[in-house]
Amino acid sequence: MLQIENLKKHYGKHFSLDIEDLQISRGQRTALLGNNGAGKTTLLRSTLDLIRLDSGHVRIKGADIRSNASWRALSAAFLDENFLISFLTPLEYFQTIASIRMISEDLLLSRLKELVNFLPETVMYGSKYIRDLSAGNRKKTGIVGAFICRPELLILDEPFVYLDPRSRAVLEQHLIQLNQDKGTTLLISSHDLDNIQRVCQRFLLLEDGLITLDIEAGHDSFQRISDNLKRDQAS
């Protein structure tokens, strides 16, 4: 589903990313973990063709993202609030996405109905503009906007941040269900090991732009990832 080859990105003399080879299979639930500044968001932005690479290739389902736009219809993402249209209400935002993705109104409403336990109806259909919502509800709005696309590849950056414990648990369930029901490939960055361990099967540790560990769930080396993130929190 996702293939990265010889990807390099640097700012000045500092390499933000240096990834020789990374392949994520269709239907795999992959977590991207690491300290602040490790390069996680840069990697996700590179995957979505949001920043110019110094070298290398990113392919989604065989399509080079820089020369073939077919991957856009296969993927959906929410990285930060820049993905939102803040002067719209949540419903207007979802309708805009549906129009772009050629999702009918009936199908949109059906998909939104499945997500009201995550984003309450009072917010989903309310009159507040996105810019006036709480940080948690803005985050939920962005995630719901990605979910309604039913993508083959879903990319999320720190999706559990700003969410209350109940909402985190509900999001876990929706991510796993989307993967199991639709075969959606997940690539999720997170600092929250508790939530991400329950969602993902594969864990990549990024340190100074390099993938230094690539393990499956339950691997003995997972303690190294935990220790790495705890050092970041302590600092």
**What CATH number corresponds to the domain at position 140?**
3.40.50.300
Give the separation between CA 1 and CA 63, rounded to whole angstroms. 10
Residues 6+ apart with CB under 8 A from 219: 203
Q: Name the residue with higher pLDDT: 98 or 65.
A: 98
Q: 96-141, pLDDT tens digit by residue? A: 999 999 999 999 999 999 999 999 999 999 999 999 999 999 999 9
In the chain the first and final C-alpha atoms are separated, in Å, by 36
pLDDT on residue 230: 65
- pTM reported for the whole predicted model: 0.91
The mean pLDDT of 23-32, rounded to a whole number, is: 95
Say which range, 56-70, 81-95, 166-180, has the weakest mean pLDDT: 56-70
Q: What domain range is 65 assigned to?
A: 2-234
Structural domain total, the chain: 1
Give the chain's largest Cα–Cα span: 52
Q: Given this model, what pLDDT does residue 219 score?
A: 64
Which residues, other chains included, contact 209 with Cβ-Cβ below 8 Å and sequence gap of 6+?
9, 15, 16, 17, 18, 19, 38, 39, 42
User: Are residues 158 and 190 in contact, defined by beta-carbon separation less than 8 angstroms?
Assistant: yes
Q: How far is CA 164 from the centre of its chain?
A: 18
- Mean pLDDT over each residue of the chain, to the nearest integer: 91
What residues does 59 pair with on adjacent strands? Answer: 3, 64
Band the pLDDT of 168: cuts 50, 70, 90. Answer: very high
